[in-house]
Chain A
Amino acid sequence: MAEIIVTNLETVPGKTITAHMGLVQGNTVQAKHVGRDIMAGLKNIVGGELKGYTELLSTAREQATLRMIDEAKALGANAVVNVRYSTSSITQGASELYAYGTAVKVG
């Protein structure tokens, strides 16, 4: 089976949508790492990028996207369109990364 195409447009460039399969979603809840937290505490003195957190959030977001894609595959779709990301902090030190979109069949 071909790779799933993911876009945040309402269409897939160069293709036409033949069927809508419904909403698909994926989420991960990610807690911060104590070791990284200490480094971040130091960074709060001199400022700048918190590389550990950047990495943490981007891998968590990838995971959420993969879960969304798996759901789309299960529905028999070959593309996910109009993808949106959202992030919410649940409690101190934990964030939820959420990805959702519409699974479609393109031809």
Chain B
Amino acid sequence: MGFLIGIIVILVGFFFGRMAEKNHFKQLQIAEGELSNILATNLKSSANEAAQTGALVTGNVVVANDAFKSFFAFFSLLFGGRIGVYETLMERARREAVVRMKREAKAMGASEVINIRIETSTMTGKAGTVGGIEMLAYGTALVPA
């Protein structure tokens, strides 16, 4: 019985997780397109010499694995090598954090975000399992004075 429930949970995770991931990538593409007029760099200064003021902007997101990914990763750990299912998870989280940061910058009327830093931290759940992964992006938004 327990085995059956485990299989069902993994299958549910597989289908819903895959659907959610596909949707998320689509949304990210739209959001990134809308925000593409805001230049984002990790340089210390802007090439634009015009007088501007700066303010800190941040964006964060906490994402979780689905049951299928956790299951798949468990087996990958036995054999080593790349864990592709985690790569896409990290990519999604990172892009989402940058999008949120840029939205905050846009709301201020900024034209550019410079000196961007991206940071990752894990929130541990029960018994050493990864509860969630937090991605934080922050930088200085430059607003034309």
Across the interface, do B140 and A9 meet the contact criterion of CB distance under 8 Å? yes
In whole Å, how far is B21's beta carbon from the nearest beta carbon of chain A? 7
Interface of A is mostly: mixed
| Residues in B61-93 with C-beta less than 8 Å from chain A | 61-67, 69-70, 89
Chain A residues whose CB sits within 8 angstroms of the CB of B136 once the complex forms = 57, 61, 85, 87
Chain A residues whose CB sits within 8 angstroms of the CB of B56 once the complex forms = 6-8, 65, 83
Q: Give the residue of B16, B55, B61 whose beta carbon is less than 8 angstroms from that of A5.
A: B55
Across the interface, do B64 and A92 meet the contact criterion of CB distance under 8 Å? no
Chain B residues whose CB sits within 8 angstroms of the CB of A93 once the complex forms = 123-125
- How many residues on the A side are at the interface (Cβ–Cβ under 8 A)? 37
Give the contact-size bracket for chain B: 35 or more
In whole Å, how far is B45's beta carbon from the nearest beta carbon of chain A? 8
Across the interface, do A58 and B60 meet the contact criterion of CB distance under 8 Å? yes
Interface of B is mostly: strand
Using an 8 Å CB-CB cutoff, how does the interface string of A40-64 with B read, 1 for contact, 0 for none? Answer: 1101111111100110011001000
Complex: how many Å from CA A84 to CA B115?
11
Q: Does A16 contact B (CB under 8 A)?
A: no
Across the interface, do A14 and B53 meet the contact criterion of CB distance under 8 Å? yes
Q: Does A33 contact B (CB under 8 A)?
A: no
In whole Å, how far is A52's beta carbon from the nearest beta carbon of chain B? 8
Highest count of chain A CB atoms <10 Å: which of B20, B56, B138, B142: B56
Extra contacts, 6 of them, besides A46-B20, A87-B119 (Cβ < 8 A), are A9-B140, A14-B52, A14-B145, A45-B66, A53-B131, A89-B123
Q: Which residues of B contact A (CB under 8 A)?
A: 9, 12-13, 16-17, 20-21, 24, 44-46, 51-56, 58, 60-67, 69-70, 89, 96, 114-115, 117, 119, 121-126, 129, 131-132, 134, 136, 138-140, 142, 145
